[in-house]
């Protein structure tokens, strides 16, 4: 079973499911020519899509346009159904950074035809995840910077203070649709600057404190099937 690492915890945490939020930054919704949603857009990735630090993203043969989306990620520590917003953050075990790798050409075709995004979003290696930092070590999860460098150059940078839907609302709402379980991972949406990644590229994602101290790092490469 696919698992992730929570810093300070000796054994890996098995992942039950991965829930992703689309369009949680206004500037990204704009660059995708999409409306700012009244409700979060949700989709799933299978846990088999997880890739760890140091791994290689393999572009499937069905695509010629792989895009990166850097996102703050949340590891659920305590499950629940219909979680209320006031207690939502107490269900979080840790925070990290991840890449919601997307086959943009396959997704665009699916959008046009009204088909699901599963192939565009859930392929093997589409969910690179960093080590998670214990929630107790983070005073305000809505004041964290996420950054992505490609071959050393900054491509995406955002701050979780710009979320359209804050974590309390996301966790509460997600738990009305999907019972949250220990080991579930949430991708919280990407800031602007999504773009193509090609074989040979090195992607470095960072989660930082408001003061600029790196909390968690993720480095992966791009390869071709
Ligand atoms: Mg995304």
What sections of 82-201 are H helices per DSSP? 104-113, 118-121, 167-177
**Three-state SS at 48:** helix
Question: What is each CA distance from 127 to 23, 100, 118, 142, 220, in whole angstroms?
Answer: 17, 6, 13, 22, 11
Which residues have CB less than 5 Å away from ligand 1 (the ion)? 69, 100, 190
Residue count of the chain: 225
pLDDT tens, position by position, for the chain (225 residues)?
799 999 999 999 999 999 999 989 988 878 888 887 888 899 999 999 999 999 999 999 999 999 999 999 999 999 999 999 999 999 999 999 999 999 999 999 999 999 999 999 999 999 999 999 999 999 999 999 999 999 999 999 999 999 999 999 999 999 999 999 999 999 999 999 999 999 999 999 999 998 899 999 999 999 987
pLDDT of 60-89, one tens digit each? 999 999 999 999 999 999 999 999 999 999
DSSP letters along 19-42, please?
Answer: EEEE--SHHHHHHTT-PPPSS-EE
Ligand 1 geometric centre to CA of 72 (Å): 10
Output the pTM of the full model. Answer: 0.96
CA separation for the pair 60, 65 (Å, rounded) = 10
Kindly report the backbone phi and psi dihedral angles of residue 85, in degrees, each rounded to the nearest multiple of 5, phi listed first.
-60, -35
Ligand 1 geometric centre to CA of 69 (Å): 5
Quick one: how far is CA 81 from the chain centroid? Answer: 22
């Amino acid at each position: 079973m696919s698992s992730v690492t929570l810093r300070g915890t000796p054994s890996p945490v098995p992942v039950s499911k991965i829930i992703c939020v689309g369009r949680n930054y206004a500037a990204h919704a704009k660059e995708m020519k999409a409306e700012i949603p009244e409700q979060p857009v949700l989709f799933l990735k299978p846990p088999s899509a997880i890739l760890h630090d140091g791994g290689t993203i393999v572009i499937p043969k069905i695509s010629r346009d792989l895009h990166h989306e850097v996102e703050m990620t949340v590891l659920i520590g305590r499950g629940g159904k219909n979680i209320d917003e006031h207690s939502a953050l107490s269900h979080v075990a840790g925070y990290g950074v991840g890449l919601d790798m997307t086959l943009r050409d396959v997704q665009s075709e699916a959008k046009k035809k009204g088909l699901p995004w599963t192939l565009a979003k859930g392929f093997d290696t589409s969910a690179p995840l960093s080590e998670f930092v214990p929630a107790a070590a983070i005073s305000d999860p809505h004041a964290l910077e996420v950054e992505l460098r490609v071959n050393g150059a900054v491509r995406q940078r955002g701050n979780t203070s710009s979320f359209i839907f804050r974590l309390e609302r996301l966790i509460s709402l997600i738990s009305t649709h999907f019972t949250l379980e220990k080991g579930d991972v949430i991708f919280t949406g990407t800031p602007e600057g999504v773009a193509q990644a090609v074989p040979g590229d090195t992607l470095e994602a960072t989660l930082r404190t408001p003061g600029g101290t790196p909390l968690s790092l993720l480095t992966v490469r791009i390869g071709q099937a």
